[in-house]
């Protein structure tokens, strides 16, 4: 999710390939059936020929990947739809722009174990799955095709030993990719091992899956998550109110009923949510679904995403104007990720 992992963090995961067999859970079938063809995406949304060259060129750099549940929320025939902008490649992705690089963050020093990033006090990030259900065009990961390797239990054991040995760690954050792309069997196993470590208090999950495939929040997931002794936080990733339809709200309600605290992080994106009204509507819609805004990230300068950039000055004045409209508890914190810093950096 938005806590991205550098290229040289090896993935600690034994993610099974998505299955389309009828015995698989509904969410896994939806994951196996995501739209991966840029021409199909344009055709399904009634976009004209002019969208095709960009869609094809961008797809060659970072493949198109759109779940049906997300596609259904995009207005057909509108090239400026804020959800479409997040998934449809534009010709601009192929432009080289000064300052936008393949690897804007350098975090290699903080990976004491395979798939584990320990940068901030009291909390660590575990890469629980390299896969994502959706490919967001602005993503920092777009240049890192994670190999889907299957580390052994012994490698997980080394991570668990690290957590057991450092009693200052109170919180484990499952990240990726998208950690909820892993199977419930794998996640239940991992969480059971974490629960055995007495000084761990909190389990946090950074995921976009409940937004893009709300069927992911099914009984099997609620069983291992709801029964955990750890305090549970799920940090969603939605950037626009239109992403949160009735199914997403229902998935949020299921998580809440299982005792999960729900937060959201967004990225400030040109043409998606770079207006005060869009940001206000997002906060309001999130709260209707039982979710509090947490972070609003400025874009990482990753090559291919420069057309999404909103300059710092504009970001600050947008957030100042937002403060005039919203109650304080609906205000996201505007932050940037600075390599080497011990926390997210407020703007
Ligand atoms: C963002 C991030 C976290 C979580 O930071 P919070 O401010 O607690 O949300 C933890 N570890 C790493 C490496 C991160 O990038
Ligand atoms: S869900 Fe989107 S933004 Fe998050 S890691 Fe996957 S591609 Fe990147």
139 is in an annotated binding site: yes
Ligand 2 contacts CB of residue 64 (under 6 A): no
Structural domain boundaries in the chain:
1-347
CB 290 within 8 Å of CB 253: yes
Q: Which ligand is nearest to the CA of 135?
A: 2
* pLDDT tens digit sequence for 294-321: 999 999 999 999 999 999 999 999 999 9
CB 126 within 8 Å of CB 159: yes
Q: Whose CA is nearest to atom 8 of ligand 2?
A: 139
Q: What does the pLDDT read at residue 102?
A: 86
Q: What does the pLDDT read at residue 246?
A: 98
Could you tell me the pLDDT band of residue 83, with boundaries at 50, 70 and 90?
A: very high
Q: What does the pLDDT read at residue 143?
A: 72
Pocket of ligand 1 (CB under 6 A): 3, 117, 119-120, 123, 125, 173, 343-344
Superfamily covering domain 1-347: Aldolase class I (3.20.20.70)
Q: Whose CA is nearest to atom 13 of ligand 1?
A: 119
DSSP secondary structure letters along 236-252: EE--SGGG--HHHHHHH
- Among 113, 173, 261, name the best residue to mutate to test ligand 1's pocket (greatest count of ligand atoms within 8 A of Cβ): 173
Q: What is the number of other CB atoms lying within 10 angstroms of the CB of residue 164?
A: 16
Ligand 2 contacts CB of residue 134 (under 6 A): yes
Ligand 2 contacts CB of residue 132 (under 6 A): yes
Side by side, which strands form the sheet with 333-336?
116-120, 123-129, 171-176, 202-206, 231-237, 260-267, 292-297, 333-336, 345-346
CA–CA separation, 230 vs 1, rounded Å?
21
- What percent of the chain is modeled with pLDDT above 70? 89
Whether the per-residue pLDDT at 150 is higher than 90: the answer is no
**φ, ψ for residue 242 (rounded to 5)?**
-65, -15
Q: What angle do CA 91, 92, 98 make, to 5 degrees?
A: 150
Mean pLDDT of 75-85: 97
Q: What does the pLDDT read at residue 16?
A: 47
Mean pLDDT of 152-157: 78
Measured in Å, how far apart are the chain's first and last C-alpha atoms?
21
Q: Which ligand is nearest to the CA of 172?
A: 1
Whether the per-residue pLDDT at 215 is higher than 80: the answer is yes
Mean pLDDT of 253-277: 98
Whether the per-residue pLDDT at 3 is higher than 70: the answer is no
CB 83 within 8 Å of CB 49: no
Tally of CA atoms within 13 A in the half-sphere of 276 that contains its CB: 12
Whether the per-residue pLDDT at 47 is higher than 90: the answer is yes
Which atom of ligand 1 lies nearest, measured to the CA of 294?
Answer: 9
Buried-exposed string 219-238: b where 16+ CB fall within 10 A, e elsewhere: ebbbebbeebebebbbbbbb
* Cis amide bond preceding 177, omega within 30: yes
SS3 40: helix
Whether the per-residue pLDDT at 185 is higher than 70: the answer is yes
252 is in an annotated binding site: no
Q: Take residue 258 and report the two structure tokens written for it.
A: 């299982």
Ligand 2 contacts CB of residue 139 (under 6 A): yes
Q: What does the pLDDT read at residue 85?
A: 97
DSSP H stretches of helix in 119-183: 153-165
Helix 184-195 / helix 153-165 crossing angle, nearest 10 deg: 30
Which of 10-19, 142-151, 202-211 shows the lowest per-residue confidence on average (mean pLDDT)? 10-19
SS3 101: strand
* pLDDT tens digit sequence for 48-74: 888 999 999 999 999 999 999 999 999
């Amino acid at each position: 999710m938005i806590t991205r992992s550098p290229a040289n963090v090896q993935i600690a995961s034994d993610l099974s390939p998505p299955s389309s067999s009828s015995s698989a859970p509904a969410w896994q079938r939806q994951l196996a059936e995501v739209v991966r063809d840029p021409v199909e995406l344009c055709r399904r949304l009634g976009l004209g020929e002019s969208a095709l060259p960009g869609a094809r060129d961008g797809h060659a750099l970072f493949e198109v990947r759109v779940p049906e549940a997300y596609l259904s929320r995009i207005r057909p025939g509108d090239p400026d739809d804020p959800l479409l902008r997040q998934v449809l490649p534009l010709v601009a992705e192929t432009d080289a722009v000064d300052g936008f690089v393949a690897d804007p963050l350098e975090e290699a020093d903080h990976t004491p174990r395979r798939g584990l990033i320990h940068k901030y006090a009291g909390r660590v990030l575990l890469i629980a799955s390299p896969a994502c259900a959706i490919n967001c065009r602005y993503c920092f990961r777009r240049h890192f095709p994670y190999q889907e390797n299957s580390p052994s239990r012994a490698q997980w054991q080394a991570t668990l030993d690290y957590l057991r040995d450092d009693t200052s760690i109170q919180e484990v954050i499952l990240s990726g990719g998208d950690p909820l792309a892993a199977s419930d069997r794998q996640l239940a196993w991992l969480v059971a091992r974490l629960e055995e470590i007495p000084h761990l208090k909190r389990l946090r999950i950074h995921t976009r899956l409940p937004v893009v495939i709300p069927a992911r929040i099914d009984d099997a997931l609620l069983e291992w998550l709801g029964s955990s002794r750890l305090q549970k936080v799920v940090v969603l990733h939605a950037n626009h109110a239109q992403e949160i339809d009735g199914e997403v709200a229902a998935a949020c309600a299921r998580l809440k009923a299982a005792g999960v605290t729900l937060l959201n992080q967004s990225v400030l994106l040109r043409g998606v949510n770079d207006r005060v009204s869009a940001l206000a509507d997002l906060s309001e819609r999130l709260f209707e679904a039982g979710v509090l805004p947490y972070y609003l990230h400025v874009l990482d300068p990753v090559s291919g995403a420069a057309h999404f950039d909103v300059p710092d000055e504009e970001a600050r004045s947008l957030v100042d104007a937002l403060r005039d409209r919203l109650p304080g508890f609906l205000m996201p914190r505007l932050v940037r990720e600075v390599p080497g810093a011990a926390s997210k950096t407020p703007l």
